[in-house]
Amino acid sequence: MKALKTKIIYVIIIGALLFSSCIRQQKTWILQDSNSAETQFANTKKTAYKIQSGDNIYINIYSTDKATSAYFQSNLPTLMNQTYLYLNSYVVNEDGYLTFSFIDKMYVKDLSVEQVQKQLQTTMNTFFKDVTVSVKMVSYVVSVLGEVEDPSKFNVPEEQINVLEAVAICGGFKDYANRADITLVRQTSTGSETVQLNLQDKNILSSDYFYLMPNDVIYVPSLKSKSYTYEKMPYGLFISTISIVIAVLAITM
């Protein structure tokens, strides 16, 4: 009888634990598609961003010639942090022009960073020998909000970042993150647009929105089960009832 009583108590406890768990394992997965065995996903959108007015562009000129390097102040500090890059960057004006060194004006609006680099390289080659031009976006900021471990706004450390990398920088998803209905807010020339992203579908890898752009905002909502679990589940009453049942069983059996 005592063994039966112990088993019943164990069953009640296990049932309570299972009942309180509201997340299906499949809802925590990403890049899934049971209907396809495809493993290759083409995506050519890495250079999609076009420079706009107000962007900060960092430009540096390298040269094997010491005089040329000195002219462009190429003696870089050991650690080039974001503040240094910002203070030594060039702003694209309202008309889309960039002014750099002895170059009076250079129209860069709607060009990619790579196109600006090539254009500057061509110009520098007409004046100097053995020079290399480096161009980097400084104002490349992405924000991640919602059900991630560390919601934040950060500067992108690389030339390009995708939505999965952005979530990883913010510590990854929380348990109740809805990975299938993420909202991407992107600035456009006429305002803003919103796009829904399903990170549980591996076809996201070939999406036009997989790679992020400056000033993108990612919002990760919570699953409906979180709302039910935390707002509707009467935990106090549930636990009290289980405690009373166990106590009664302990006395009567």
Q: List pLDDT tens digits, range 171-222.
A: 999 988 999 999 999 987 778 899 999 998 888 888 889 999 888 999 999 9
pLDDT value, residue 28: 56
pLDDT value, residue 205: 87
pLDDT value, residue 36: 57
pLDDT digits (tens, 9 = 90+) for 33-78: 655 556 656 666 655 678 888 899 988 888 888 777 777 775 555 5
Q: Are strands 103-107 and 56-63 parallel, antiparallel or unpaired?
A: unpaired
Cα torsion angle, 154, 156, 160, 165, sign: negative
Record the pTM. 0.64
pLDDT digits (tens, 9 = 90+) for 141-152: 899 999 999 999
pLDDT value, residue 183: 96
Domain annotation for the chain: domains and CATH numbers: 2-23+227-252 (no CATH), 25-47+140-222 (3.10.560.10), 56-137 (3.30.1950.10)
pLDDT value, residue 156: 83
pLDDT digits (tens, 9 = 90+) for 18-31: 444 555 555 555 55
pLDDT value, residue 239: 63
User: Residue type at 48?
Assistant: A
pLDDT value, residue 149: 94
Contact in structure between 113 and 136 (CB atoms under 8 Å): yes
